[in-house]
Amino acid sequence: MRVLVGGGTGFVGRTLTQLLQSRGHDVTVISRQPGKNRITWEDLSRMGLPPCDGAVNLSGENVLNPFRRWNESFRQEVVDSRVKPTEILAKAIAEAEHPPRAWVLVTGVGYYKPSNTSRYTEDSPGGDFDFFSRLVTRWEAAAKIPEGRTRQVVVRSGVVLGKDGGAVAQMLWPFRLGLGGPIASGRQPFPWIHVVDLAGIVTHALEKEGVTGILNGVSPTAVITTNGDFARAMGSALQRPALLPLPGFAVSAIFGPERSVMLLEGQRVEPKRTLETNYRFAFPDLPSALHDILA
Ligand SMILES: NC(=O)c1ccc[n+]([C@@H]2O[C@H](COP(=O)([O-])OP(=O)(O)OC[C@H]3O[C@@H](n4cnc5c(N)ncnc54)[C@H](OP(=O)(O)O)[C@@H]3O)[C@@H](O)[C@H]2O)c1
């Protein structure tokens, strides 16, 4: 398969590219920067869709960039870096003479309302109660193409755990120094997935005829995992204590109240449809995932 991967230079995109290539697929990345085996978003807007059998979009500014203040201009960048590339790719697919067989967008479980008690599947309502849920609604709407020619899949991802980026990279040093611990009470849900499984679900969606619609990109045990469980598992994998809680007010001070929802609250999400499509998770439980990542 020839696969176009928007945002393929990033944390998830690098693992996805490796996985696709290891399965014999050709990957062309869509990026802001030109380079080998890449096209730019401008190329795509100007020249239309190059010949391809599958398309994926993973682009987006890192919301939890601790060096960026959560103000109106950063908020707009977070939205535009997701919605605009998605619109460009969807338009190119819709207008292509030879459209791809599958089009996969990765969004987030921020679609569902944070709650310590509610459990969500792909059929649960959401998408209209805070900045993140409304962002996911706009982002997924931007991906819509007329039905019929191309199978469309949206993977709503949880917190992605992997070696070279994401949450583990941001938290590794405090934990290594024995200064790690839960965030606030630690009772908030922690909807996580190993990066290998997120790349695996995207690949499964590209390859398997008949997979369509929303798939939750979280591990099967994420529905019972809390932030405290994650802290304990990190401590145990690194053989360090993980007892020092990071107070909620400190998180709010660093990230701002609106953005800190992502750390202070969470969603209990099940990958119901993902499992029904017969995707087999490589890392269904947290200790094995963190052992693989931190070994
Ligand atoms: N990581 C997670 O825990 C997580 C959780 C849920 C959902 N997701 C979603 O999954 C997707 C992939 O995540 P990731 O962690 O791999 O993302 P990432 O590495 O932070 O970024 C992916 C790519 O997006 C492009 N990008 C970054 N900032 C941009 C900006 N300001 N404007 C336009 N493009 C920009 C970059 O590509 P170029 O520099 O090549 O243009 C980058 O390589 C994202 O859409 C993210 O929202 C991630």
Check which CATH number belongs to the domain holding 160 and give it: 3.40.50.720
**Model confidence over 53-62: pLDDT tens digits?**
999 999 999 9
In the chain, the number of structural domains is 1
Q: What is the mean pLDDT of the chain?
A: 97
Closest of 262, 281, 206, 176 to residue 24, by C-alpha? 206
User: Residue 104 sits in which domain range?
Assistant: 2-294
Alpha helices, DSSP H, located in the chain: 11-22, 41-47, 72-95, 131-142, 166-176, 195-207, 227-238, 248-255, 257-264, 272-276, 286-294
Does 295 have pLDDT greater than 90?
Answer: no
SS3 106: strand
User: Which structure tokens are listed for 266?
Assistant: 């969470």
Cα–Cα nearest to 4, from 54, 67, 45: 54
> Averaged over 221-236, what is the pLDDT?
97
Residues 6+ apart with CB under 8 A from 143: 57, 86, 89, 90, 103, 105, 152, 154
Question: 87: CA distance to ligand 1 center in Å?
Answer: 16
Point out the ligand 1 atom lying closest to the alpha carbon of residue 61.
28
Which tokens hold the place of 162? 């992997």
* Mean local confidence (pLDDT), 29-34: 98
Instruction: Judge if the beta carbon of residue 61 lies within 6 A of ligand 1.
Output: yes
Cβ(132) – ligand 1 distance below 6 Å = no
Question: What is the pTM (predicted TM-score) of this model?
Answer: 0.98
CA of 251 to the centre of ligand 1 (A): 22
Atom index in ligand 1 nearest the CA of residue 13 equals: 16
For residue 59 and ligand 1, the question of a CB distance below 6 A is answered with yes
Q: Is 84 near ligand 1, meaning CB less than 6 Å away?
A: no
